[in-house]
Amino acid sequence: MVHLGTSWIVPAAAAWALVALIWLIFAWREPKGRSWHIVLALAPLAIFAVAIWGPEQLAGAAALWLLMGGIILVALAAAWALGTALRNHGVMDILYPLTVLAGAFAAVGVVGADAWIWAAMAPIAFWSIRLAVQTFGQNAHAEREPYASWRKRFGAKWLWWSAFQIHLLQGVTVWIWCAPIAFAFDAPAPRPWWPLVLGGAIWFAGFALQSAADQQLAAFKRDAANRGKLLETGVWSFVRHPNYLGEALMWWGFFAFGLAHPLGVLTVFAPLYVTWFMGYASAAPYKERHMARTRPEAWAAYCSRTPRFLPWSRPKVST
């Protein structure tokens, strides 16, 4: 179990409080999505309070989680500077999985590495590098949607608002997702192996589903005869967003790692958040709106017979 002390936490909390204040001042001028900005700006302050005043068993994991957040924040600043220089904030989609890996390595530097830690790091590293490589080809050359539209919408203030709208918003989100990783690494030794076995099985199921979805979609797009059509076979007949479902499952695997900690079950909010984000808040809804706008009839027919995100949900026609 990690004992980082609290001497660094108080000034770090004060620094984040200043960042959050500035963030909220700017966010208050943007009614669209304002509430989500407020929640994510304030969330780290609650964890700072736990790290300072919480019981020792919980405070240690919270401190390690905050340390990971500090590394993610530094990486976010670099991503914002790069995106600003290139006029392409789509680089955030390339770099954000690498920020998780950087935070995990920072945690390993604190707790020390052993066989259990390296076994847990393997799927984290694989997920991070694979996603970064995959998104590089899609985002490196030009600013994609919705970032390009936001650049036009916000005009001159996009220079500073992009830091909040893209980088901090997404950065705090992935930091919240990382809670089980921090608890897993903070677990007292010797850590039990069953959470790794369980988590590895769940992670692999998610990886297999996402990989199959990506490969089937790539093959479908390569065939010129499919231009203008929808992919409705393979895992895409199972749910409308199998790639996002696979992503959520992988984070449920990371949650299982966290069960090595006596209080790891408390981090269940993280995979629940990932599931909600992928299926109902951001990723899938954005794709749903795009497809309903560009191919309304075909998409409506597809929705009428294929569940949206969870295979047992009742199909509904998107409007």
3 pLDDT higher than 60 = no
The arithmetic mean of pLDDT across residues 232-249, rounded, is 96
Whether residue 195 is predicted with pLDDT greater than 60 in this model: the reply is yes
Res 32: pLDDT: 76
Over its C-alpha atoms, the chain yields an Rg (Å, rounded) of 20
pLDDT at 266: 98
Rounded to an integer, the average pLDDT of 82-91 is 94
Taking each helix axis as running N to C, give the angle between helix 242-258 and helix 194-222, from 0 to 180 degrees, rounded to the nearest 10: 170
First to last CA, the chain: 50
Percent helix, strand, coil in the chain, to 5, is: 80, 0, 20
What is the pLDDT at residue 314? Answer: 59
Q: What is the pLDDT of residues 123-176, one digit of tens each?
A: 999 999 999 999 998 888 889 888 999 999 989 899 999 999 999 999 999 999
Q: In the chain, what percentage of residues exceed pLDDT 90?
A: 84
Question: Does the structure show a pLDDT above 80 at 1?
Answer: no
What DSSP string describes the chain?
Answer: -----STTHHHHHHHHHHHHHHHHHHHTT--TTHHHHHHHHHHHHHHHHHHHHS-HHHHHHHHHHHHHHHHHHHHHHHHHHHHHHHT-TTHHHHHHHHHHHHHHHHHHHHH---HHHHHHHHHHHHHHHHHHHHHHHHHSSS--TTHHHHHHHHGGGHHHHHIIIIIIHHHHHHHHHTHHHHHHHHSPSSPPSHHHHHHHHHHHHHHHHHHHHHHHHHHHHH-GGGTT----SGGGGT-S-HHHHHHHHHHHHHHHHHTTSTTGGGGGHHHHHHHHIIIIISHHHHHHHHHHHHSHHHHHHHHHHS-SSSTTSPP----
Please tell me the pTM assigned to this model: 0.93
Whether residue 43 is predicted with pLDDT greater than 70 in this model: the reply is yes
- The per-residue pLDDT of the chain, averaged, comes to 93
